[in-house]
Amino acid sequence: MSMLQGLKRSKFVSRFLPPLLTGITILLMWEFLPRLFGISALLIPPLSQVAFALWNGLSSGVIQEALAVTLFEALTGYVIGSGLGIFLAAVITRSELAERALVPYLVSLQSVPKVALAPLLVVWLGFGIGSKIAIAGIISFFPVLISSIIGFTTIESEKLELMRSLCASRWQTFRIVYFPNALPFIFAGLNVAVVFCVTGALVGEFVGASKGLGVLLMQMNFNMDIAGMFSVLIVLACMGGSLHAFVRFLHRKLVFWAEPEKMDQGTP
């Protein structure tokens, strides 16, 4: 019994101890190295100052308020953009006419750096959240579109023959076979897009906005509040990490049946 417990403990140690140690080392270096080498706290504020700035931001509610705005922009854009990507991929792979009419343009648009559209979208849609949702949406749209197209076209021909032999309608074939079959690929795109959508919202806020974490970052930059900027970066990292973790959770729940190599396809 004690051996079993020892074994369990050693597994815990070998699994969680290394990353924990790395984390502690980095935090300690962050706190003490700048002082040791006499680097100005203005450039690299020690951990304690950043923690203090974070505490200040959170207790005054400034960070939560900005976080809510940016999160809403990023998520709304993500849902609209990837929804549109899946829908358009389904239409394109269903209809040869749509494929011929749309694919050349979508492919050439895909090579345009989407963030370059941000200034234009802010002019068109204003300083409010609309322009940020648009940028987050556009930037989420393409990876989901491309991976969904691959998903809707990667299919065992026998599955389709089986459906044909049952005289299944196009909609039945799509619902019963094509769509679930494409899910591992769709999720590969969704995993990429969920990281992109935060970038989109932030870039939009940099270009012109009155609220959001991007705005907060710019204001702090202007005031040379480096510790504050680090605190916002930490919040952004947590937000991005949680969003990605949530999508991966959905992925595992919904695509539990896929082979592991398919599951991780195209996921960064």
Partner 1 sequence: MTTEQRGAEITLEAVSKHFVTRSGEDVEALADISCTVRSGEFICIVGASGCGKSTILRIIAGLVQPTSGTVTIGSNRVTGPRRDIGLVFQSPVLLPWRTVRQNVLMPAQVIGLPRQQAQTRADELLELVGLDRFADSYPSELSGGMRQRVSIARSLMHDPATLLMDEPFGALDAMTRDTMNVELLRIWQLQRKTVLLVTHSIEEAVFLADRIFVISPRPGRLLEIIDVKLPRPRDSETRNKPAFIKQVTSLREKFESMPEQKEAAQ
Residues of this chain that interact with partner 1 (CB under 8 A) are 156, 158-159, 161-168, 172, 176-177, 180-181, 183, 255, 257-259
Question: How far, CA to CA in Å, does 120 sit from each of 17, 131, 151, 179?
Answer: 49, 9, 33, 35
Question: Which two three-digit tokens encode residue 191?
Answer: 């995993």
Instruction: Report in angstroms how near the CB of residue 183 gets to partner 1 at its nearest.
Output: 8
CB of 117 closer than 8 Å to CB of 99: no
Instruction: Report in angstroms how near the CB of residue 172 gets to partner 1 at its nearest.
Output: 6
Instruction: Report in angstroms how near the CB of residue 168 gets to partner 1 at its nearest.
Output: 5
Choice between 181 and 231, CB closer to partner 1: 181
Q: Residue with structure tokens 């907060």? A: 216
Choice between 96 and 158, CB closer to partner 1: 158
Q: Which residues of 19-43 are buried (b: 16+ CB within 10 A; e: fewer)?
A: eeeeeeeeeeebeeebeeeeeeeee
Choice between 186 and 213, CB closer to partner 1: 186
Choice between 109 and 162, CB closer to partner 1: 162
Instruction: Report in angstroms how near the CB of residue 166 gets to partner 1 at its nearest.
Output: 5
Instruction: Report in angstroms how near the CB of residue 148 gets to partner 1 at its nearest.
Output: 17
Choice between 174 and 230, CB closer to partner 1: 174
Choice between 121 and 183, CB closer to partner 1: 183
Instruction: Report in angstroms how near the CB of residue 160 gets to partner 1 at its nearest.
Output: 10
CB of 152 closer than 8 Å to CB of 93: yes
